[in-house]
Amino acid sequence: MERYEYYTMTYETKGFWGGKVEVNEFQNELNRLGDAGWELVSSVATTQGQGTTKYVVCIFKRKKL
């Protein structure tokens, strides 16, 4: 039976009200985790007032050795 471990990354968006994703910074973090064997399985943007997004929550998994 395969076994997995999970990791949750919370990315804080930029801007006064949030909502601005620094694409290169975000991709660099995703690539760093991918190089370490983590696979992105889900992501969700959290919302606050007037529909702005303050955080993007990403869930990763990888096989346990």
CB 7 within 8 A of CB 63: no
Q: What is the mean predicted confidence (pLDDT) over 31-60?
A: 92
Position 4 scores a pLDDT of: 97
Q: What is the pTM of this model?
A: 0.84
Q: What is the mean predicted confidence (pLDDT) over 6-18?
A: 90
As for how many domains the chain has, the answer is: 1
Q: List the domain range (segments joined by +) for residue 20.
A: 4-63
pLDDT over threshold 90, residue 16 = no
